[in-house]
Structure 1
Amino acid sequence: MKLRDGPSACPSLWRSLPCPPAELRLDLVLSSGQTFRWWESSPGAWTGVLGERVWTLRQEQDRLWYTVYGEEQDGRPDGAETDQILRDYFQLDVGLPALYRAWGAADPLFRKVANDFPGVRVLRQDPVECLLSFICTSNNHISRITAMIERLCQAFGRHLCCLDARPIHAFPSLSALAGTDTEARLRALGFGYRAKFVSGTARAIVEGLGAEGLRRLRTVPYAEARRELCALPGVGTKVADCVCLMALDKAEAVPVDTHVWRIAQQRYGAVLGGRSLTPRAHQEIGDFFRGLWGPRAGWAQAVLFCADLRKGQELAGSRDQARRSRGRDNRGRCPP
């Protein structure tokens, strides 16, 4: 990997943590729509921004290897600090195999899926980044969301370094997104109606809770945290549940969209929610899965969501390959 911006951007030495695949699968967790700031920079290696530093991660056998690209003026973190950042981000203090066994014992469908999708765990993200990112997910798909977040960071975030001639920026601060011209700039970047919600929520947090107040929602009950989030511009129940689960330590939060609703109805035979995804429907479906999977229901749902997403991507890839093959066959049958 070629590095620019001089010696201050050089990586530290590679370090590793014990982490078997049953506890973490980078390829599943970092590509399944929990976060949008990681990319596979080379086969098996994932590069992204965490804690305003650029990291590259790689798994080999039972170890998670990493290197950090820092800036000299910020001070380079020591190994104990970087180890703890990763442990916290991936919540490695939560033993995943025991949870998989418990969920599988309670749910034969989960048991069937889980064998092919080990190591799917929920990230513990920065609340501001998680909230503003998930506002961008409305009526959107992962590749487009990822591109939007990249444009957001390039336009408003602090430049960190360049890797392989690719400029990498930190996620923007709240103050950077709370300006009076932010909405117009985001619309110019292709955010559409989401521009109003991103800028409005950033401004509402600056003028209200503040970043620390948002982080303190980790200590309040789930229902209270969700209620506070739903009072922000553009934040509905689903986005609030994503933030509760992935940034605010509410492992019982089950984000419900039409996809999860369909899983509940078609695979579990659950007659829930009426004909539309009202707040009541969200509550009923979440309660159903909490009753099935227990206090970490959001983690179990993440496994099923990842499995469905990966299978959908594989199916789409197969269809694309078939179309290309048909195209080649048709060209082959054309007269000279």
Structure 2
Amino acid sequence: MIIESNNINIRQIAESGQCFRMNEIKQDTFSLIAYGRYLQLKQLDDTAIEISCSGEEYELIWKDYFDLSYDYNRIIQKLMKGKDDFLKKAGDYGKGIRILRQEPFEILISFIISQNKNIPSIKKCIEGICNRYGEFKISEEHYKMGYYAFPTPGRLANAKKEELRELKLGYRDEYIIKAAQAIHEGRINLDQLKACSHEEAVTALKTIPGVGDKVANCISLYGLHHIEAFPVDVWINKVLNEVYQNSFDVEQYQGYAGIIQQYMFYYMRSLK
């Protein structure tokens, strides 16, 4: 089926640093593994993508996953009418980015892994975890394509540190196990954190070993869809330091600062 929107670009989403299982398999065609399913997406033009699923599956999963009910063009138009030249350029450059509604547990583990790693290394580690601990599935819609779903909390809660260490996870092995145990045993309920405020979610997430302020903000934005979150990583630090001399007022974008953060991140990476 075809999805049409002025603000959806699969390449931009895949390169925006929020998801790690979306990969280009041929020119302008990407694979995605999420919610235990395999999907292919093809960018047809600036406003349309082809998505390899039924209308029923789209309504059940992917419409929400790609946040297609939210008016991103409203944000872009606000930036275009504003006085911030950097954000005008960033918004225009990355206007196809959307904040995905991803599985919270996958995001929790992914961003624990992400610390002090580049994106290719993060992806390799995540695929290693999926291949060892995830359920193997067959996609009948894609010529019986085999793939691995992201592991359940129970599977990772019972993982051995030695096995995780073999996947090049380093010191993160213990953090992954403890995070999975916290979810599996019910000490942290990620679905409940979706309904909390961003601040309450960050506070709860930071009780998990290995989750500091930056990782908690990433989980809140990319996993719990608190779009007011504003994670500060290396690239955002460059923006804040080099463009704004540490005087950026995030409060003026209250309620959607996470979307602004994505435009900043994507545009700054392109400049460097």
| 1:60 Cα deviation after fit | 1.5
Secondary structure of 1:48's aligned partner: strand
Q: Which residue of 1 aligns with 2:129?
A: 152
| TM-score, normalising length: structure 1 | 0.75
Pair 1:58-2:42 in alignment: yes
| 1:311 Cα deviation after fit | 3.6
Which segment drifts farther, 152-161 or 110-119?
A: 110-119
Secondary structure of 2:228's aligned partner: coil
Q: Which residue of 2 aligns with 1:131?
A: 108
| 1:293 Cα deviation after fit | 2.2
Secondary structure of 1:91's aligned partner: coil
CA RMSD of aligned residues (A): 2.0
Q: Which residue of 2 aligns with 1:304?
A: 264
Secondary structure of 1:168's aligned partner: strand
Secondary structure of 1:234's aligned partner: coil
- Alpha-carbon distance in structure 2 between the residues aligned to 1:173 and 1:142: 23
Q: Which residue of 2 aligns with 1:174?
A: 153
Max Rg structure = 1
Counterparts of 1:318-333 in structure 2, within 5 Å, are none
CA distances 1:177-227 after superposition (whole Å, capped 9, x unpaired): 011x432210011110011111111012222336xx211211111111000
Q: Which residue of 1 aligns with 2:162?
A: 184
| 1:165 Cα deviation after fit | 9.8
- Structure 1: runs of 5 or more not aligned: 1-14, 69-77, 272-284, 313-336
Inter-CA distance 84–105: structure 2 relative to 1 (3 Å threshold): farther
Contact (CA 8 Å) 1:226, 1:237: kept in 2 or not?
yes
Identity of aligned residues (%): 29
Counterparts of 1:253-292 in structure 2, within 5 Å, are 253-270=229-246, 288-289=249-250, 291-292=251-252
Pair 1:79-2:39 in alignment: no
Inter-CA distance 293–242: structure 2 relative to 1 (3 Å threshold): same
2:185 maps to amino acid: E
Q: 2:32 aligns with which of 48, 53, 57?
A: 48
Q: Which has the higher contact order (CA 8 A, sep 6+)?
A: 2
Secondary structure of 1:115's aligned partner: helix
Secondary structure of 2:93's aligned partner: coil
- Alpha-carbon distance in structure 2 between the residues aligned to 1:160 and 1:310: 36
Contact (CA 8 Å) 1:217, 1:225: kept in 2 or not?
yes
Aligned residues: 268
- Runs of 4+ in structure 1 over 6 Å off: 162-166
| 1:140 Cα deviation after fit | 0.5
| 1:167 Cα deviation after fit | 4.5
Q: Which residue of 2 aligns with 1:218?
A: 194
